[in-house]
Amino acid sequence: MLDFMESNAQINNSPATYYYQGYSDGRLLQLPRTLEAEAIAIGLMQQLETNPIYSREGKMYGILLVKLPNGEKGYSKLFLDC
């Protein structure tokens, strides 16, 4: 996960800072945003800013943290240049 985070970053298992939510089949679904997710997204944005190809307006970034049954963490990242 350190691909997009400062090597000295201290991230704890803090509660969600925000919930993205929407309805599906009449049920309210929520997806939490955590400090860990924010740190990874900020690191991704900073990494892309160093490349002149991505230095203009019109970007969308996204990351998705996952935790496997064995406790291992992973993530998916998305970048759209509009």
- pLDDT band with cut points at 50, 70 and 90 for residue 2: very low
Question: Which tens digits make up the pLDDT trace of 26-79?
Answer: 999 998 888 888 888 888 888 888 877 776 666 777 888 888 888 888 888 887
How many angstroms separate the CA atoms of 50 and 57, rounded? 14
pTM over 0.75: no
Q: What is the 3-state secondary structure (H, E, C) of 2-52?
A: HHHCCCCCCCCCCCCCEEEEEEECCEEEEEEECHHHHHHHHHHHHHHHCCH
